[in-house]
Structure 1
Amino acid sequence: MNDLPEARQADPRGDIRWRTSAIVLAALLAVCLAVAGLAWKRAHDRASAQERIALAHGLALHAADLRDAAPGTARNLGVAAVKIHSDGQTRAGLIDTLVWERGRELTPDASSEVALSGDGRLALTGDGDEVSVWDLTAWLDPKVILKSDRAAALKGHKEGVDAVALSFDGRTALTGDEGATFVWDLTDPAKPIRAATLASERNSGSVRALALSDDGRTAVIANDAGDVTVWNLTDRSRPARLSVTRAHASSIRSLGLSANGRTAVTVDNDDAVTVWDLADPSHPVKSADLPPPERSERSMVATAMSADGRIVLVGNGPRVEVWNLDDQSRPARTAAFEVPLGYMYDVALTPDGKTALLAGPSDFTILWDLSDLSRPTRLAALKGYAREIESVAFSADGGIALTAGPSGVSLWDLRNLAEVVADPEQAACHGHTSARLSKADWARYAGDADWSDYGGEVSGGLAVCFITSDPT
């Protein structure tokens, strides 16, 4: 009867080995359970993260669709999207919504040409045989409810106006048609004076592009025949023609001029892009030819130049190229980027060359940041009232923009664009912390997602500015 106890006492190491094995097994089991739990948690977190991303992107898409019909709801959905998951897509969507709120219809009348003074206070819009002059002072003051009508109309053209230009100070304007170019004194915008007519050369064809130096003393005219004509407007009532140059073999489509009038760039219908030295305006000299962006099936090239003549932007449909002209004889391409436009109707560039506005056969124009010439970045899309954008213009600081087409002209106040782009969430919620989505809107646009997972619920809805990005 005492054999078993004696045996155990005789071999205590077996008991120790048994207990050790049990402990090891328990530890292994705990490790396995921990690993399994961690794997489950990671899988759950990944699934939860994917659900948040999908929800945020869905809300951003709904916001884009609602900008016209329900701007308040669009803003709230955009904020919710960024709060739930902030990435390039949701931030870009909210930025576009906030910028859209800063646009308004200047006129529903068609306009194929627009121009702005340097301070953005005077505008020209043209279509048909006359050009409208707009004093934008009241339009840019949010305290003014009743906006003023156009200040005056520039009349006298027998044919449709094909091009317009406005000096930096807004005191001199050019309007061109098939037969001639008129010089206008806009010292009093409400009482414009036609100061002179710049007669065209015989059989030279229609005016296609116009440009003025900042001081309004140098005018450059490009026409159907491929000619570039330089005029001295120091005495607006007695302009002096300085030169006529056969610049291209085909019609000139686009023209850019530096602020001092000493450098120009032209583009013709065959997509030839040429840089001109106008230091001696009586003898323009070709500095260089720029290879245009890759030709598309329906090619249409547009160009613009910075005030100092150092930066040239050349756009051909989906591809835009940036050129540096520090050495005019050896232009250097610093960047190329793609834009969602089939081809290019017009390009505007701020005088410092840091912001570009691109227009094509679409109901929106695209703002690009060129501060780093080697890495252009998209800022925002301006989707206004026009169904198609044919012409765009910038004020000197890029704070005011015009977009125009067959269905009207839109005016854009972009003076706080930098703050919006830097932190769209803060820009949207500043002063609007009570913004909320109703349960009905949440159910309509968020589907089965439970809004209680995202916090911020208040009486009457979900406070979008207080949504938590991590429901855990």
Structure 2
Amino acid sequence: MVALIAIAAAATGMAVHQHLTAREAERVAEARELALLGVASRVTEPYAAVALGVAAVRIHADDQTRTALVDTMVSERQAIFRGTDIVAAIAISADGRTALVADQNQGVALWTLSPSGRPDGRLDAIRAGVLESQGGEVRAVALSLDGRVALVSAGEGFATLWNTTDREHPARLATLEGGSVRHVALSGNGKTALIGHDDGNVAVWDLAQPSRPVRVAALATHRSVLRSLGLSADGRIAVTVRERASTVWDLSDLARPIQGGGLDTADTASAAAALTADGRTALVGSALWDVSNPTRPQRLTSLPDVEHMVVSAALTSNGGFAMTGEAGGRTVVWDLRDRARPSRIAVLKAPVTQVDEVALNADGNIALIGTPKWGVFSWDLTGLSGDPFHDLCGGGRTGLSITRAWWSHFTKSKPWPDSFGDRDSFEPCA
């Protein structure tokens, strides 16, 4: 008898477990269906996209439902620099209020960025002063941290230095000659510049007297193509990325740059570099490096799931966040606060298949991408913590509601989901 009771109890327990497992599977399926409905509604029904996305996470939070909701939140915040077209280069000031855009058709101009005040959180971008009326030959631009100094390349064999304190009336300070320019980099205070030429040479310029810039050194001649330049805000550490080698440089003495260690980037799809403000951390392609000792750089980690070559990269001042643009057009914002486990915050999606330039302001709240056909897109990422449910439900969206009538109309009479319960409405943030 005892044995029979034990068997019966075991059978009952198994049945309960199977029932719970089946119910959980139903909840997962319902949540993912809601997430997909939300994704499909982003363009035509923004409210539905948010409400369904939050409901999906509320019912079952996993990578799929969270990612769908984050992407919906980010898509709400996308804006465009109206009038931009074929964009070759972009830069942004530390505070995110000033952008510099080189457009082949529209020339090189400053733009002012400000919150629109709309619920969607999009930015307003207004074109200000023009530096160059013709942008066809411009390949690269750079801004100082405060946005008061700009460096603009030109294909004719020189770069120009600008005082951009007055955004409406930028003033040319000097011309930096030396051959056709492919890449430029500017220190945070605008007093040091690197200019990479088509022949592979990188010139070091002292801009302490802006009207009288002095070429003080060169970073060892190479025959390989220069793909990218990175320069720390203090101007003391640089990284050069080439077809066959990436190298760290110590520029503490501008007149006597010291070649540091090489970076093994063979497996990291490297065509871009960025440095933190203090020059202690570098992002080269999809690999993160400790370059605090320039002679012995140490690889820290790699960004997960990078699909194509990284053609542009940006880091926040403290290295807590990064942004990468891939050759296939995929643009990702990363959380690097745990260096051992970098994680994706969001994919910035625009109607493009190619992204040539990315830019991120000092704290990572403002992100820009430059495209060769569709102009410049912006995102205000303020308040994104990596927890989309908290970000939305704690950020003024507590009134989200899905009623039976709305559900029936929106889904063309699909059954009311079991996970919504027997009530006449479901409040995902409640």
Please indicate, yes or no, whether the TM-score normalized by the shorter chain is above 0.5. Answer: yes
Question: How far apart are residue 462 of structure 1 and its match?
Answer: 3.5
Structure 1 contact 127–160 (Cα < 8 Å) conserved: no
How many residues are paired up?
423
Aligned twin of 1:114: 90
Aligned twin of 2:246: 273
Aligned twin of 1:21: none
Aligned twin of 1:4: none
For residues 448 and 140 of structure 1, the distance between their equivalents in structure 2, rounded to whole angstroms, comes to: 37
Question: How far apart are residue 340 of structure 1 and its match?
Answer: 4.0
- The range that moved more, 208-217 or 154-163, is 154-163
Larger-Rg structure: 1
Question: How far apart are residue 288 of structure 1 and its match?
Answer: 1.1
| Deviation readout 1:380-419 (Å, 9 max, x if unpaired) | 112235443211111111111111112121111122123x
Letter in 1 for 2:198: D
- The range that moved more, 354-363 or 146-155, is 146-155
| Deviation readout 1:362-397 (Å, 9 max, x if unpaired) | 454111111122221111112235443211111111
Letter in 2 for 1:118: A
Question: How far apart are residue 451 of structure 1 and its match?
Answer: 2.1
For residues 117 and 135 of structure 1, the distance between their equivalents in structure 2, rounded to whole angstroms, comes to: 10
For residues 62 and 311 of structure 1, the distance between their equivalents in structure 2, rounded to whole angstroms, comes to: 41
Change (3 A) 1:450 1:415: closer
Structure 1 contact 266–273 (Cα < 8 Å) conserved: yes
Change (3 A) 1:75 1:271: farther
- Alignment equivalent of 1:433, drawn from 398, 401, 423: 398
Question: How far apart are residue 210 of structure 1 and its match?
Answer: 1.0
Change (3 A) 1:125 1:148: closer
**TM-score, length-normalised on structure 2?**
0.90
Change (3 A) 1:140 1:434: closer
Structure 1 contact 222–252 (Cα < 8 Å) conserved: yes
2:144 matched to 1:167? Answer: yes
Letter in 1 for 2:181: V
2:33 matched to 1:58? Answer: yes
- Alignment equivalent of 2:379, drawn from 375, 393, 412: 412
Equivalent residues in 2 for 1:11-410, closer than 5 Å: 24=1, 29-107=4-82, 108-128=84-104, 130-137=107-114, 139=115, 141-142=117-118, 147=124, 149-155=126-132, 159-179=136-156, 180-200=158-178, 204=179, 206-268=180-242, 270-294=243-267, 301-315=271-285, 320-406=286-372, 407-410=374-377
Higher helix share: 1
Q: Percent identity?
A: 39
CA RMSD of aligned residues (A): 2.6
- The range that moved more, 324-333 or 146-155, is 146-155
Structure 1: segments with no counterpart, 5+ residues: 1-23, 467-472
- Alignment equivalent of 2:388, drawn from 416, 419, 424: 424
Change (3 A) 1:41 1:184: same
Question: How far apart are residue 71 of structure 1 and its match?
Answer: 2.1
Change (3 A) 1:272 1:145: closer
| Deviation readout 1:94-137 (Å, 9 max, x if unpaired) | 12222222221223523121101111111011121721210113
What SS does the corresponding residue of 2:172 show, helix, strand or coil? Answer: strand
- The range that moved more, 356-365 or 206-215, is 356-365
| Deviation readout 1:171-226 (Å, 9 max, x if unpaired) | 110110212101111110100111111112xxx4x322111111111111112111
What SS does the corresponding residue of 1:46 show, helix, strand or coil? Answer: helix
**TM-score, length-normalised on structure 1?**
0.83
Structure 1 contact 385–410 (Cα < 8 Å) conserved: no
Letter in 2 for 1:191: H
